[in-house]
Structure 1
Amino acid sequence: MTVVAGDETWRADSYVAAQFTRSAVSEDRAAQPLPTFGEWWEDRRRAALFSVEEVPFRELDGWKSQSGSDNLVHESGRFFAVQGVRVESETHGTWSQPVINQSEIGILGLLVREFGGVPHFLVQAKIEPGNVNTLQLSPSVQATRSNYTRVHGGADTRYLKYFRGGGGGQVLVDSLQSEQGAWFWHKRNRNMVVRVTEDVPLHEDYRWVTAQQLRRLLGVENLVNMDTRAVLACMRFAAPPRHLPAHDDPYLRALCRSYDPVNGTALHTDVEILSWHTEMRTRCDWHTSLVPLAEVRNWRRSGSAIEDEEGRSFRVIGVRVRTGNREINQWSQPLIAPRGTGLAAFLTTSVHGVLHVLVRARPEPGVMDTVELGPTVRRTSETDVAEDEPFHAEVAAADPRRVRFDTVLSEEGGRFHHAQTRYQVIEAPDGFPTEVPDDFCWVTVHQLMALLKHRHYVNIEARSLLACLHSLW
């Protein structure tokens, strides 16, 4: 194993967490003030030459329906395929659906460099075919293996060398995590933060921002993309300093205490949480397997879409893309298109003055270990509503004054078409019970961050909500 040592101080986890927090509270020490971000963003938006057209499957260049299975596959055998997944369960019955099978592990990476002693992160204005607004804020590198090995014959991925060991950077975060288990089969990405000390040539689509600026931008609808949120969630922050105005608000004061690993007031120990999670995985009787798309039941296929017969889930569509701002200028591909806006919500409450978040052990057909920790309430689309779901009523009827975060943010625009989720962090009413159903558990923010040392423990929606929690103080 080759390790780039870097500064000895940066090799201590506690120091890295403190530096991330320093960046998160240094609004007046940013290399470029936040008001100028809007000017840069508008300039990038005007320069974005991009068109997306929905087309029949037969017009997807380089894609074909595989003989015998009906799977939608790329002629190179790379990128991804649309096929079927079957779930068999004694408690939930047997059912099947289309799923994206993308076995390659991609890289989601943020470069970090200090300016004026404050860590800044390199983000990019990136176009994706499924984005509802074309352009969103992406990590320094966001690339599948097929992309960065140039299977498409396009240009090199900028800044890739820093995340592949050839740039002399120091790895601060490197976490292998899942993506949407409702739509992907065993999809994983490497979430990385790499520190550099040298000058980095800056392309016009890229910009250095502090964690404080990223936290503020999270409140803007459909701006910070899913991949940036995923990397942010894998960064461990130290407890925010006590001089922040947030400490004047009892809720935010409890939130800040929730970052402290030694406050001793967590409702459950780390071992209890890990044991509970293991028990939930053991109890789950779902058996999942890939099947040919031709064997998926209760879905119909036309020349332009694959959709469930009840019209409640999602569609698979084809698109043709033209752009002057990507590694290649035009391509075609399938996308999953959810029906309307989904929901992901955390209920939170203060226990002994420390904020706790209510997570749920949630099975999904596409995750590797079947069960990961997710939001308190989650639905993938507007039609995916289960009114008898625990805590659905509490979220739906929440007092607006207790809704601490409420923003519509996009899911992965490279595979999903206009997939939006309303992310909410809600303060539970006074006296809310800490006794919850077996598949729910209260955790502190520090405990949730610590779980991300493990792979496949916390799902992508819960990780997005963790990033949203970081934006509140």
Structure 2
Amino acid sequence: MPPTQTRTLQPRESTGLADRLALSRAATEGSHLRTDDFADWLAARGRAHAFRVERIPFAELDGWSFHEPTGNLAHRTGRFFTVEGLHVTEEGPPHGDGPPADWYQPVIRQPEVGILGILAKEFDGVLHFLMQAKMEPGNTNLLQLSPTVQATRSNYTGAHRGGAVAYVEHFAGPGRGRILADVLQSEHGSWFHRKSNRNMVVEAVGDVPLRDDFCWLTLGQIAALLHRDNVVNMDARTVLSCLPLGGGQDGALLSDTGLLSWITGERARHSVRADLVPLKDLPGWKRTGSSIAHEAGRYFRVVAVSVQAGNREVRSWTQPLFEPVGRGVTAFLVREFDGVPHVLVHARVEAGFLDTVELGPTVQYTPDNYAHLPPSRRPLFLDTVLRAAPDRIRYEAVHSEEGGRFLRAESRCLLVAATGAEAPRIPPPGYAWATPAQLTSLVRHGHYLNVQARTLLACLRATPVSSR
């Protein structure tokens, strides 16, 4: 018989972690880089490398082609991702009435799971987080603050035949440090087909050499940067939202069990069928030599770009990107009930989700897509957010969406204090009030909060919010 193995029980929760994270949140200056000097540091990193992004016709894509007979856009290696068609039928309309929704669209299919990882280390008694100045071709300003590692499986396994991904051994190797957060989270359910990424925060063991284009920042410094437009990228925001930050009152309008039951009920009452179909001759979409666009001129386009980036594993490449038509608006309406802040969440149905429904912001729309509709058919709460007086806006910044797949995709992110008349205690079907602490609990598990809600949760943590 094998020798008896002894095991040591471990605490179910990390002892002292909440206090260490709170200390990092309170630290508005770090040991390595002053917050006031960050803009100069980022600009210097931009000057250190040559960046260029140009639109090109599909015919100039290198390694990409439309395959016959489907017309799907794919790379010759079969890696990275494909652009395919999607046919969606939703049999459970948001308000329970009317015919089933039915539409076609292009979609990104990328079945591999990527790593979004932030490395943590203590300096002078305060946790710091290793952030990267990373160029993404879709970013409006190209260079933004990203996680330590932001890589698809194709990238960190070398399918691009480029250089190694820096620091990936802390997240994918056997010698990882102390795991502070590790959860699979969805990407944009409207543009990806069942895509997930591994969101990780790992506290390093031993020395961590500081490479060019990287910097150590406290949570307090990152919170300050979240108030600046187009600085902290989407991947950094979603990873930061997964940290198990403590705090917050115990009370809530819905108990945790009640909130979970409501989510389960929303998932049960919606029936969504999303079938991959050929991209060729997709109903409602027209392909030209340089784009695939909707016949009404709304939603988004598929385009192609040529990229040069001096600090990437591969210095030049071409690829397709999705380009939205218009800037998005994502917002939480905020109210206090018995002194406890709550945000109004929406049970969002998106065709690309693994489990039909995830919690999204109160408002998550591109207003230009609804400008032609009469008021009675416009999305709930959209006009409440768009017409909010400045003294009701508790947080506002423009943030980029995923710059590796989307071209100049930006959202105006808002936290808006609402009155009882605007957002009643008993909300319409498909909406519920939840506390930030409840969202923090849910985000520790995959596929409960969508990527837009995770962005707003990160912004909420960076902002003292009151509805008064």
Asked if these proteins are the same fold (TM beyond 0.5), I'd say yes
Change (3 A) 1:28 1:75: closer
1:293 partner SS: coil
Contact 1:319 1:335 in 2 (8 A): yes
Report if aligned partners of 2:332, 2:362 keep a CA contact under 8 Å in 1: yes
Which secondary structure does the structure 2 equivalent of 1:238 belong to? Answer: coil
- Distance of 1:135 and 1:454 partners within structure 2: 30
What corresponds to 2:18 in structure 1? 17
Partner of 1:126: 134
Q: Secondary structure at the match of 2:185?
A: strand
User: Is 1:44 the equivalent of 2:34?
Assistant: no
Shift of 1:29: 5.3
Gaps of 5+ in 1: 240-258
Counterparts of 1:89 and 1:460, CA distance in 2: 21
Q: Please say if residues 341 and 419 of structure 1, whose CA atoms lie closer than 8 Å, have aligned partners that are also in contact.
A: yes
Q: Distance in 2 between matches of 1:351 and 1:14?
A: 31
- The answer as to whether partners of 1:85 and 1:290 remain within 8 angstroms in 2 is yes
CA distances 1:33-58 after superposition (whole Å, capped 9, x unpaired) = 21222221121121131111111111
Structure 1 contact 266–444 (Cα < 8 Å) conserved: yes
Match of 1:468 among 451, 459, 462: 459
Question: Does residue 313 in structure 1 map to residue 321 in structure 2?
Answer: no
* Partner of residue 300, structure 1: 286
Paired with 1:292 and 1:88, the residues of 2 have a C-alpha distance of: 16
C-alpha displacement at 1:201, in angstroms? 0.9
Tell me the equivalent position of 1:140: 148
Please name the residue that 2:439 is paired with.
448
User: Quick one: structure 1 residues 324 and 276, their matched pair in 2 at CA, closer, same or farther if it must change by over 3 Å?
Assistant: same
**Deviation at 1:94?**
1.9
Are 2:415 and 1:407 equivalent residues in the alignment?
Answer: no
Q: Is the 8 A contact 2:29 2:220 kept in 1?
A: no
Provide the rounded CA distance (Å) in 1 between the counterparts of 2:101 and 2:442: 31
Residues 381/123 of structure 1: CA separation in 2 closer, same or farther (3 Å cut): farther
Shift of the alpha carbon at 1:89? 3.0
- Whole-angstrom CA distance in 2 between matches of 1:303 and 1:166: 47
Shift of 1:215: 0.2
Match of 2:75 in 1: 74
Structure 2 partner of 1:288 = 274
Cα RMSD for the two superposed structures: 1.7
Tell me what 1:256 maps to. Answer: none
1:320 maps to amino acid: S
Unaligned runs of 5+ in 2: 1-6, 92-98
Contact persistence 2:244–2:444 (CA under 8 A): no
* 1:269 corresponds to: 255
Cα distance between partner residues in 1 of 2:13 and 2:257: 23
Residues in 2 aligned to 1:451 and 1:129: alpha-carbon distance in whole angstroms = 32
The residue identity in structure 1 corresponding to 2:407 is H
Alignment of 1:9-408 (within 5 A): 12-13=13-14, 15-28=16-29, 30-90=31-91, 91-239=99-247, 259-260=248-249, 263=250, 265-380=251-366, 382-385=368-371, 387=375, 388-408=378-398
Pick which of 107-116 and 381-390 moved more: 381-390
1-structure distance, mates of 2:31, 2:71: 53
Assess, with a 3 A threshold, how the Cα gap between structure 1 residues 381 and 397 changes in structure 2: closer, same or farther: closer
Letter in 2 for 1:327: E
Aligned mates of 2:29, 2:291 — CA distance in 1: 50
Aligned to 2:336, what secondary structure does the other structure show? Answer: strand
Aligned-partner Cα distance in 2 for 1:151–1:74: 11
C-alpha deviation, 1:28, in angstroms: 4.4
Write the distance in 2 (CA, Å) between the matches of 1:151 and 1:284.
39
Q: Partners in 1 of 2:136 and 2:367 — Cα distance?
A: 20
What is the TM-score normalised by the length of structure 2?
0.92
Cα displacement (A) at 1:103: 0.6
8 Å contact kept, 1:410–1:421: yes
Q: How does 1:426-437 map to 2 (within 5 A)?
A: 426-429=416-419, 432-437=423-428
For residues 291 and 209 of structure 2, the distance between their equivalents in structure 1, rounded to whole angstroms, comes to 43
How far did residue 88 of structure 1 move? 1.5
Q: More deviation in 452-461 or 76-85?
A: 452-461
What amino acid maps onto 2:460 in structure 1? Answer: L
Letter in 2 for 1:393: D
Separation of aligned partners in 2, 1:384 and 1:103? 31
Per mean C-alpha deviation after superposition, the further-off stretch among 67-76 and 41-50 is: 41-50
Distance 1:399 1:374 in 2: 23
* Aligned partner of 2:415 among 417, 422, 425: 425
- Give the aligned partner of residue 429 of structure 2: 438
Maintained 8 Å contact 1:87/1:96 = yes
Aligned partner of 2:23: which letter? R
Q: Distance between the aligned counterparts of 2:185 and 2:176, measured in 1? A: 24
| Aligned-pair CA distance for 1:228 | 0.3
Go from structure 1 to structure 2 and tell me whether the alpha carbon gap of 1:50 and 1:31 turns closer, same or farther (over 3 Å shift): closer
Is the contact made by 2:25 and 2:219 (CA closer than 8 Å) also made in structure 1?
A: yes
